[in-house]
A and B are shown apart, each in its own frame.
Chain A
């Protein structure tokens, strides 16, 4: 916080910004005032308009009304190139890099240093990249392609890009969603460094602990409108949540008691060299088993192997005592398994298709009469589930890609729930989902457990795991390193198993 002078114009200011897409209003009246030398949190439920606001600042969308000013001067962006030239850098939730090109080229694409005849000065470019990495305190080979880099590394490249641009305003849209603890620490150190240089940062996150850890000011949005701006020091999580949802959320994770029955899913000695080793666990009817661990510990891979999407070399999977053939998702579905994948946009949904089509995707055969799927049956089934899950969509024939993240997740869940599963595997069920919807997803999972479904829940959010799971399994680097009962599962115990050598078993 370098500028204490209240009269200095803010680095970035939006006032009364509006934006509609056809009949849908995304922003009714957005305000944001980001001072130089500060980290400003922007919080709100999904669909509150944060992403739209970011895209307006980035020059990707044009606002319909309201004012946008940089350092007090009104600006108007027609393209991302213009906003970039004005000193705004945006780091999106999923980094957007060119996988085939080198790290250095990714940083400088479109504005490489040039010499005679417009020839790119590769040496200068490389040196500048190295200088930036040195300053960020990371070691990344500037010549390697960005393919194969973790999301954390990719975000570092995005930040390097912003620094090379000498951006005055840096907007980070959920940069920590896919990062592990160490990586988050590194990112925060970099962000603080940039703040101390007098840049303005906007930080969007659903994780409150991060907001309180990193930011000095917070702006809350709800339903496309500005709610309030507060100093972080003067507020609490409860207050923020209340402002975001406009109501009191009594409990984030309403775990309902469920009767635990027989073993349903039994996994023994599952091994795929280089991915996971000797993984054994059991999930019983009515039980929610949490699978915790850092990103990259091999949790999703195990889930995918159990379901049959990925291969495994040795070990066995049994459902209700009967062995499940490996590498055969159709057989898994027939035996009552359901997988809600991590990357819902790519693996869980057909985005171009309607909501109704997506919801009924897993039960097409049951809906079919004489081999054909009739619209009437499809819509009836979809309507039941969409209403039960409170999917907010204008119509069942809307394209799924047009829904918000939370509602898309509900469609994926709806798809599998319609198939009456015996075993439900959910991978990061609430990633990128707002608080209100999160609670709904949790309540839903809880109710399923009560109906006797065996649930394996992979999650990187500790409160979610601790709040929901009857038992917690912890993975580290492809191995199960801990199994904790609900009573023993403290944040410390889980983190210890996820990060250290010795097993807690």
Chain B
């Protein structure tokens, strides 16, 4: 009955790709880029335009991937923006005050610090069993507060940073910004992990039904903790990249990014109720979100309306998901009914032939 031949499998794969939620976001992104380019060809067909197109969303993409990992487990991390800011300032301080420090060490320090901040979130959520929304709302303010107290009126300037580090943020490899390449590596690794490893699948299971996950004997506490640590680590990496890209770091670096990251994930089809969505979607969502921001002035939409457009996008995405979910639910119920009717007919025929 199920001889798997290559051609139908390929077709099925193509069909699945077409129906995938991520495809819609991809198409929307292409439409935005095409519209903006039609009105102003420099949007893509200029050295700067092409670079900005790839570069601008890269850092948010890293944060959104981390956020998606947490949201999949039916949690949320509101502190990522503060983590980005804190780590960005740490990065700048290390490079300015410790001359000759290897860049690798700085990157590791940033990621490690971010992971540690994520561990605080995760431990509070997983062990204290307090909703993540409340915990990370608290740590969002605490981390930002620490950042402000530590930074004061100080700010890191581009001139304080070694040029090798700045090159990380502005350099290219084969015509593609290094930052973008890094973000894509992170994305691919996260996507592979979530799809192919047991612990990755368990994150989905936990988000789909936490109580069932407990009954399955899954290590819910540990997995949720790990998700927060990963999210913190990625926010930390984004903080390092932030310093490399912009060079200027003050106490409000990364301000408001948590909401952009959540927005990106939601737009990309990551269900806020957990268990559904991919980091691909979240990354595309980040891309769409920031590209729309850049495209709107070109298309002729007033600056003032940009936020409203983003809001409409988020609401539209949620409504779309809801509609799709309801339709899929109906389809699944219907499909099962048909199948059962068939089976009932067959059962009548071969009753009493003995069951295994």
> Which A residues have a C-beta under 8 Å from some C-beta of B?
59-60, 79-82, 84, 92, 96-101, 105, 109-112, 114, 118-120, 130, 135-139, 141, 144-145, 147-150, 153, 182, 189-190, 192-193
Q: Which residues of A contact B336 (CB under 8 A)?
A: 148-150, 153
Q: B202's closest neighbor in chain A, by CB?
A: A110
Residue numbers in B under 8 Å from A182 (CB-CB): 344, 347
Tell me whether B215 and A60 are in contact (CB under 8 A). Answer: yes
Instruction: Tell me how far the C-beta of A211 lies from the nearest C-beta in chain B, rounded to whole angstroms.
Output: 21
Are B329 and A148 in touch, CB under 8 angstroms? Answer: yes
Which of A82, A98, A153 contacts B205 (CB under 8 A)?
A98
Q: How far is the CB of A478 from chain B (nearest CB, A)?
A: 12
Nearest CB in chain A: distance from B157 CB, A: 44
Interface: B2 (CB within 8 A): yes
By the criterion CB–CB under 8 Å, are A101 and B275 in contact? Answer: yes
Nearest chain B CB to A200's CB is how many angstroms away? 19
Q: How far is the CA of A82 from the CA of B205 in the complex (A)?
A: 19
B333–A135 touching, CB < 8 Å: no
CB distance from B20 to the nearest CB of A (A): 14
Q: Contact at A98–B217, with CB atoms within 8 Å? A: no
Interface pair A119/B197, CB less than 8 Å apart: yes
Do A147 and B216 touch (CB < 8 A)? no
A80 to B219, CA, bound (A): 10
Main secondary structure of the interface of A (DSSP, over half): loop
Query: B248 at interface (Cβ–Cβ under 8 A)?
Result: no
Report which B residues bind A (CB closer than 8 A).
2, 196-198, 201-202, 204-205, 207-209, 211-219, 271, 275-276, 328-333, 335-336, 339, 343-344, 347, 355-356
Q: Tell me if A193 and B198 are in contact (CB < 8 A).
A: no
Q: Shortest beta-carbon distance, A144 to chain B, in Å?
A: 6
> Which of A81, A112, A135, A149 lies in contact with B356, CB distance below 8 A?
A135
Is there contact, CB below 8 Å, between B201 and A137? no
Residue of B2, B196, B275 with most partner-chain A CB within 10 A:
B196
26 of the cross-chain contacts (CB-CB < 8 Å) are A81-B217, A84-B217, A96-B209, A96-B211, A96-B215, A97-B212, A98-B213, A99-B209, A100-B204, A101-B201, A105-B201, A105-B205, A109-B202, A110-B202, A112-B201, A119-B197, A120-B198, A120-B201, A135-B356, A141-B335, A145-B328, A147-B328, A147-B332, A148-B335, A149-B336, A193-B355
The answer to whether A193 and B217 have CB atoms under 8 Å apart is: no
Min CB–CB distance B190 → chain A (angstroms): 15
A49 to B355, CA, bound (A): 34
Selected contact of A110 from candidates B198, B211, B356, CB within 8 Å: B198
Closest to B333 in A: A148
A135, B356: Cα distance in complex, Å: 6
Would you call A99 and B208 a contact (CB within 8 A)?
yes
Chain B residues whose C-beta falls within 8 Å of the C-beta of A153 in the assembled complex: 336
* A110, A111, A147, A153, most chain B CB atoms within 10 A: A110
Give the distance to chain B from A162, nearest Cβ to Cβ, in Å.
Answer: 12
Distance of B85 from chain A, by nearest CB (Å): 34
Please, how many angstroms separate the alpha-carbon atoms of A363 and B356 in the complex?
56
Taken together as a complex, chains A and B put the C-alpha atoms of A80 and B217 apart, in Å, by: 5
Is the Cβ of B204 less than 8 Å from the Cβ of A118? no
Give the CA-CA distance A149 to B331 in the complex, in Å.
11
**Inter-subunit contact A190/B355 (CB<8 Å):** yes
Residues in B with CB closer than 8 Å to A111 are 198
Residue of B nearest to A115 (CB): B196
- Complex Cα distance, B336 from A81, in Å, reads 31
CB-based contact A98/B212 at 8 Å? yes
The prevalent SS among residues of B at the interface is helix
Q: Determine whether the beta carbon of A193 is less than 8 Å from that of B356.
A: yes
Task: Give the 5 A-B residue pairs with the shortest CB-CB distance, closest first.
Answer: A148-B332, A81-B217, A98-B208, A96-B212, A100-B275
Residues of chain A lying within 8 A (CB to CB) of residue B213: 98
- In the bound assembly, the distance between CA atoms of A347 and B275 in angstroms comes to 24
Contact B198 A112 (CB under 8 A): yes
Contact status of A79 and B355, CB under 8 A, knowing A98-B205, A109-B205, A110-B202: no
- Residues of chain A within 8 A of B344, CB atoms compared: 182
| Contact (A101, B217) CB under 8 Å given A112-B198, A119-B197, A120-B198 | no
Contact (Cβ within 8 A) B209 A97: yes
Please name the residue on chain A nearest to B12 by beta carbon.
Answer: A143
Q: In angstroms, how far is the closest chain B Cβ from the Cβ of A376?
A: 35
Closest beta carbon of chain A to B22's beta carbon, Å = 16
Among B214, B330, B332, B333, the one with the most A-chain Cβ atoms within 10 Å of its Cβ is B332
Complex alpha-carbon distance, A159 and B251, angstroms:
57
Cα–Cα, bound, A377→B278 (Å): 53
Is the Cβ of B215 less than 8 Å from the Cβ of A92? yes
With A99-B209, A100-B208, A100-B275 in contact, do A144 and B217 touch (Cβ < 8 Å)? no
Distance of A80 Cα from B211 Cα, bound (Å) = 12
A residues in contact with B212, CB < 8 Å: 96-98
Q: Is the CB of A137 within 8 A of B204?
A: no
Residues of chain B within 8 A (CB-CB) of A148 are 328-333, 335-336
Q: How far is the CA of A101 from the CA of B208 in the complex (A)?
A: 8
> Given A109-B202, A112-B198 in contact, is the A79-B217 Cβ separation under 8 Å?
yes
Nearest A residue to B332 by beta-carbon distance? Answer: A148
Contacts known (A119-B197, A120-B198, A137-B356); A147 close to B329, Cβ less than 8 A: yes
Set of chain A residues within 8 Å of B216, measured between Cβ atoms: 80, 96, 109-110
- Tell me the minimal C-beta distance from B335 to chain A in angstroms: 7
Which A residues are CB-close (under 8 A) to B347?
A: 182
| C-alpha spacing A182/B340, complex, angstroms | 11
Q: Residue of A at shortest CB range from B211?
A: A96
Expressed in whole angstroms, the Cα–Cα distance for A120 and B276 within the complex equals: 19
Whether B205 contacts A101 by the Cβ 8 Å rule is yes
- CA A153 – CA B335 in complex, angstroms? 13
Contact flag A144-B332 (CB < 8 Å), given A80-B215, A109-B218, A110-B218: yes
Q: Which residues of A lie under 8 Å from residue B219 when comparing CB positions? A: 81
- Inter-chain contact A110/B209, CB cutoff 8 Å: no
**A144 and B215 contact, CB distance less than 8 A:** no
**B335 engages A144 (CB within 8 Å):** yes
CA distance A144 to B331 in the complex (A): 11
Distance between Cα atoms of A59 and B214 in the complex (Å): 11
The answer for the CA separation of A255 and B347 in the assembled complex, in Å, is 40
B274 to chain A, nearest CB (A): 8
A112 (CB) vs chain B CBs: closest residue: B198
Query: Hey, which chain B residues are within 8 Å of A109, CB to CB?
Result: 201-202, 205, 216, 218
Q: In the complex, what distance in Å separates the CA atom of A112 from the CA atom of B200? A: 12
Q: Closest Cβ of chain A: how far from B9's Cβ, in Å?
A: 11
With A84-B217, A97-B209 already in contact, the answer to whether A189 and B355 are too (CB < 8 A) is yes
The distance in angstroms between the C-alpha atoms of A110 and B212, with both chains bound, is 12
- How many angstroms between the C-alpha atoms of A92 and B215 in the bound complex? 10
- CA gap between A100 and B211 in the complex, in Å: 14
